[in-house]
Amino acid sequence: MSTLTMQGLATAHPRWRARAVLALLLAGFAVLVLRAGYLQGWNNDFLRQKGESRYGRVIEMPATRGIITDRNREPLAISTPVESVWASPGDVEITPEKMKRLAQLLEVDHAEIAKKLADTKREFVYIKRHMPPEEAAKVLALDVPGISLQREYRRYYPGGEFFAHLVGFTDVDGKGQEGLELALEDELAGKPGSRRVIKDRLGHIVEDVESIRTPQQGRDIALSIDARVQYLAYRELKNAVALHQARAGGIVVLDAISGDILAMANLPSYNPNNRGKLDPKRMRNRAVTDLFEPGSTLKPFTAAAAMESGLFRADSIVQTGNGELTIGGATIHDAHPAGALTVSQVIQKSSNVGAAKMALALPPEKLWTMLSHVGFGSVPHAGFPGEGSGRLRPYAGWKPIEQATMAYGHGISVSLLQLARAYMVFASDGEIRPLSLLRREGMAESTRVMSAETAQQIRKMLELVVLPGGTAPKAQVAGYRVGGKTGTAHKLEGASYAANKYISSFVGLAPASAPRLIVAVMIDEPTAGGYYGGTVAAPVFSAVMSGALRLLGVKPDAPLNNVVLPPPDAPEVREEV
């Protein structure tokens, strides 16, 4: 190369420029080193935030829902651990083969999974909820980045349909939807916690950073229900509904002393463990929410009001004539014309005319006060959602015919639970206590509704009802004195009574010498084997009362051969209102 050419290159690239470029590179490198040292040594929050935004997750720690038990600590609702499969769509890396296998394991359509994973902006989406842990482990074994498991709890109900209307059920998120699961949600649910973790690209937790909030477990709750009595009550009710081909039925068993609800069952029922096929019509707790006209089961309260007024005694004569009583343009009938009856016989024979005449002899306020004080027209406040208050109209607006029909349970509506509680006044010598679905220690304060003498005399009348000559001999229980009252009421359809649709009922107590239990039975629209309360509902009372008294170890108050049934050819003592 010539000397001239070398001089041109030297002129085009002076030495100072190379040094300047080198200095700039060294300065830039020094800045990077200082920046890295600053971020990693003095101010590492920035890098931590960026890292956590990609791999950090806040995981909810579910609280274990409280257990529901019966009064003897038998579990009625428990929470079992399950796994839910979830994904972070933006992090999911899955081959077609693994997608097919995932769909098979989850038993979910391939297209549905793809749809959930399509929105990559979402950080969390459930793919399948509440899988058994062993099945979920197979999903995790696929080792698909972005797909993880989350521990949850699924509610399980050991009693199934036997306790369905009482306990209710929860939804997939563990929140109460029906029954006591709903009513006691705040106590049972607890409060979930959370923790911050670091996950790798496969979704595995590689570091537990910190606990943000510790979960607070739900409170265990013991009910007043006795599971043994509940199974018995449900079984006998189911048999009766099937035997009489009825539309529905309900039963309530109360502790006559404390007011504790020992059993409450309804038909039709449902299985709360199978939430996928729930019929809303089967989920209603009819004993609490449904209202009906009680019919002749109300007559003992009419007699009590009449006796409390001082105008009548148990042996006072009531003229029922030929079994008809016309008031205005309406006529009240008796199924059996009986002429002169004592007050006791009015209850034993279930005379509509006799009850109406006693009611009409009283100021309307007297009858209303008696019915109101035993709880009719008011919510029972047993602690169950949707409790009905019934209908008891103000006495100031009563017409004579309305006062007369009220005496035998028409023109008033009640729930089965209200009716059972009202009979507590006869069992506890004139006092009534609050009901409870929760096990409680000690006795709740009682309210006196009538004198002890009146209550005891009514109790004797109720004993006559179950003896030959009364409307419910089939309610008798071997070894125990029992008392109760039948009801056979036409059903209301719109503004009139259906000719051939009935509510058949029986409410009774035992042992009559010192009552311990009250059992109320209602059969809705029996269509086979009769429809009278003494034929349809009384045998259910007998079976449940007999079994429950023995389960609870209640001492008999009568010889084992005390059951006396009418001769086979004796005419049935019927009632119909």
* DSSP code string of 70-116: -TT--EEEEEEEEEEEEE-GGG----HHHHHHHHHHHT--HHHHHHH
What whole-number distance in Å separates Cα of residue 45 and Cα of residue 51? Answer: 10
Sorted by sequence, the CB contacts under 8 Å of residue 395 that are 6+ apart come out as 364, 365, 367, 368
For 231, 348, 481, 517, the CA distances from 511, given in Å and listed in that order, are 21, 18, 5, 8
Helices (H), 374-514: 400-406, 416-422, 424-427, 452-465
Among residues 201, 214, 68, 101, which one has the least CA distance to residue 147?
201
Find the helix or strand (DSSP H, E) in which 343 lies.
helix 343-349
Whether 234 and 270 have beta carbons less than 8 Å apart is answered as no
**Quick one: how far is CA 527 from the chain centroid?**
28
Residue 11: alpha-carbon gap to chain centroid = 98
SS (H, E, C) 514-571: CCCEEEEEEEECCCCCCCCHHHHCHHHHHHHHHHHHHHCCCCCCCCCCCCCCCCCCCC
**Alpha carbon distance 270, 402 (integer Å):** 39
Classify the C-alpha dihedral 397-412-341-498 as positive or negative. positive
CA distance 132 to 378: 46
Half-sphere exposure at residue 175, Cβ-oriented, CA atoms within 13 angstroms: 3
**Angle between helix 133-140 and 96-106 (nearest 10):** 180
User: Token digits for 237?
Assistant: 């009710």
Cβ neighbors of 270 (< 8 A, separation 6 or more) are: 161, 164, 278, 279, 282, 283
Provide the Cα torsion 353, 358, 361, 362; round to 10°: -130
Check whether the bond before 268 is cis (ω within 30° of 0). yes
Peptide bond just before 272 cis, omega within 30 deg: no
The set of catalytic residues is 296
> Containing H/E element for 162?
none
